């Protein structure tokens, strides 16, 4: 039987995978995605539970208010990503990965210890703009569609090619006129925006939101989406996000063994398909 | 415009810890000339390229390009000002197609212009091939034409003939003379193959331990006793 709520999670996984993919396309291993996702969700959770005007007169939370949350969360996160990205993106390779893990960890602890953000309990009773998972599926599908379309367009645009050039050889790219600091920063900010938008929708869907969203575990899981799917084209992370979100659920009948299977996929994927499931087309 | 100064080095010093990589280097390039840099390994030739292209900062002294100092400019800014280079160990974007390699350097989408440029180095058939799949000599030519795609006025070539057979070297010489005229380039070239440099260059400078020990026409340099000493050692 097709489980619509699992489908919603799969779409969410694919969106987050695209957020991890964008910096990686420019050769930057950033694990900050769950951090920006959590900030987006926190903005939505706070606004919808504390500002009564957003609730409207109907039983159902108005979509216009969700849209307003997006319009507030996106510039906020973009600004934050810009300010963080400027110094942090000077780091290369594994050092950038470590720094971004630390950022997510700092955020988690801040949320966990501040009562305004719900502290350890989280924020509850986030109002619902849709009656059932079908509405959410549609909303996430639209967001995934826009994101995937943007990423696909990017691949044939000068900016996308500059990102690929930096991944290939940053020094040569700089000598060929590519302003690498700027390109990397754009990729980082775009990635943060995607994650924040997903967070806004997810906060409503999950009905509650807490610091637990910003876990190291989430960083690794979203990274695994891209590692399995492939980081060369936009389709790789989408497939990786869909498959790896569904896998643990589909394997539920085999009990706790499923976690082992899931781990093996992440472990063996890079060995046997180092470029990911979706490889670059060759000519 | 031939005869006016394009690039000028003024007392250029680069020091890496205890190593004086470039030592009080001062000379200038005339617009339109092919200027050769020779010298033993470790003489500082590639370091000089890295300073000119903004990858390495000078410890003291300065590089002036078209009358202005280049201190503090990033590699991409210098590229946009008309300085392009190739690398000693090939650095094409190997995961990308030849056309994409050129479009990155051009900074825009123009497949036709990219294919035209590929034609100059007889790679027009390989436009959609991944750069990493090309043969060694082809990659060298791709790198050269990628530098041209940035529309440079000054082209820095770091050992373009390395690993080439005699026929390819001959072709390279013809190619460099052609593009120099076609694109009105000033060329600064590092190359160990002395016979090629003698035929190709208008002037040569010889570096040894970061110092310029001789400068002049190929004939003058060839007969310079200091050069003979640097290459062959002191006579008994």
Question: Does the beta-carbon distance from A175 to B55 stay under 8 Å?
Answer: yes
Question: Does the beta-carbon distance from B95 to A178 stay under 8 Å?
Answer: no
Q: Name the nearest CA neighbour of A201 among A146, A120, A121, A119.
A: A146
Chain B residue at shortest CA distance from A166: B93
What is the value of pTM for the model shown?
0.91
Out of A157, A164, A177, name the one closest to residue B96 (CB). A164
Tokens linked to B90: 């090939």
Strands of the sheet containing B34-38, edge to edge, are: B83-85, B154-158, B186-190, B34-38, B203-208, B211-216
Q: Please report, in tens digits, the pLDDT of each residue of chain B (236 residues total).
A: 456 889 999 999 999 988 999 999 999 999 999 999 998 888 899 999 999 999 999 999 999 999 999 999 999 999 999 999 999 999 999 999 999 999 999 999 999 999 999 999 999 999 999 999 999 989 999 999 999 999 999 999 999 998 888 998 999 999 999 999 999 999 999 998 888 999 999 999 999 889 998 899 998 888 888 888 877 676 54
Out of A157, A179, A232, name the one closest to residue B76 (CB). A179
A172, A178, A232: best to mutate for the B interface, most B CBs within 10 A: A172
On whether the CB atoms of residues B183 and B148 are closer than 8 A, the answer is yes
Tell me the CB-side half-sphere exposure of residue B87, using CA atoms within 13 A.
16
Beta-bridged to residue B215, according to DSSP, are B205
Beta-bridged to residue A209, according to DSSP, are A123
Chain B residues lying within 8 Å of A169, measured CB to CB: 91-93
Q: From CA B227, how far away is CA B208, in angstroms rounded?
A: 9
Chain A residues lying within 8 Å of B53, measured CB to CB: 175
Task: State whether residue B64 is helix, strand or coil.
Answer: strand
Query: How many C-beta atoms lie closer than 10 Å to residue A67's C-beta?
Result: 12
Q: From CA B236, how far away is CA B233, in angstroms rounded?
A: 9
How far, rounded to the nearest angstrom, does the alpha carbon of residue A180 sit from its chain's CA centroid? 23
Q: From CA A203, how far away is CA A209, in angstroms rounded?
A: 6
């Amino acid at each position: 039987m097709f489980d619509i709520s699992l489908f919603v999670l799969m779409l969410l996984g694919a969106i987050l995978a695209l957020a991890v993919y964008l910096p990686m396309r420019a050769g930057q291993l950033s694990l900050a995605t769950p951090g920006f996702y959590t900030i987006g969700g926190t903005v939505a959770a706070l606004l919808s539970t504390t500002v009564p005007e957003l609730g409207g007169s109907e039983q159902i939370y108005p979509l216009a208010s969700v849209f307003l949350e997006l319009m507030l969360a996106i510039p906020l996160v973009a600004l934050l990503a810009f300010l963080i990205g400027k110094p942090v993106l000077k780091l290369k390779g594994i050092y950038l990965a470590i720094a971004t893990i630390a950022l997510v960890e700092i955020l988690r602890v801040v949320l966990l210890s501040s009562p305004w953000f719900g502290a350890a309990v989280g924020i509850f009773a986030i109002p619902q703009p849709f009656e059932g998972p079908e509405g959410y599926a549609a909303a996430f599908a639209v967001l995934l569609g826009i994101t995937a379309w943007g990423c696909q367009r990017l691949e044939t645009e000068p900016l996308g090619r500059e990102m690929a050039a930096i991944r290939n050889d940053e020094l040569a790219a700089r000598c060929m006129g590519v302003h690498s600091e700027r390109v990397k920063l754009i990729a980082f900010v775009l990635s943060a925006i995607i994650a924040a938008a997903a967070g806004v929708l997810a906060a409503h869907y999950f009905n509650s939101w807490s610091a637990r969203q910003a876990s190291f575990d989430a960083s690794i899981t979203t990274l695994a989406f891209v590692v399995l799917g492939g980081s060369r084209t936009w389709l790789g992370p989408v497939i990786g996000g869909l498959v790896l979100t569904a896998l643990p659920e589909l394997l539920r009948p085999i009990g706790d063994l499923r976690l082992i299977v899931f781990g093996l996929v992440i472990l063996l994927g890079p060995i046997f398909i180092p470029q990911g499931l979706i490889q670059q087309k060759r000519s | 415009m031939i005869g006016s100064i394009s690039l000028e080095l003024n007392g250029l010093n680069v020091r890496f810890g205890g190593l004086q990589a470039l030592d009080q280097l001062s000379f200038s390039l005339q617009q339109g000339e092919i200027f050769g840099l020779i010298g033993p390994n470790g003489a500082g030739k590639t370091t000089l390229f890295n300073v000119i292209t903004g990858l390495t900062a000078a410890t003291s002294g300065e590089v002036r390009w078209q009358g202005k100092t280049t201190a503090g400019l990033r590699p991409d800014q210098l590229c946009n000002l008309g300085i392009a280079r190739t690398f000693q160990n090939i650095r094409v974007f190997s995961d990308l197609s030849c056309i994409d390699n050129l479009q990155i350097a051009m900074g825009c989408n123009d497949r036709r212009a990219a294919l035209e440029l590929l034609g100059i180095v007889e790679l027009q058939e390989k436009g959609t091939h991944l750069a990493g799949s090309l043969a060694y000599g082809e990659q060298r030519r791709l790198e050269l034409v990628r530098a041209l795609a940035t529309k440079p006025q000054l082209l820095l070539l770091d050992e373009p003939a390395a690993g080439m057979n005699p026929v390819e070297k001959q072709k390279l010489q013809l190619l460099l003379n052609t593009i120099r005229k076609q694109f009105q380039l000033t060329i600064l070239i590092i190359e160990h193959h002395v016979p090629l440099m003698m035929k190709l260059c208008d002037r040569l400078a010889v570096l040894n331990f970061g110092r310029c020990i001789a400068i002049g026409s190929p004939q003058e340099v060839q007969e310079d006793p200091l050069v003979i000493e640097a290459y062959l050692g002191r006579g008994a």
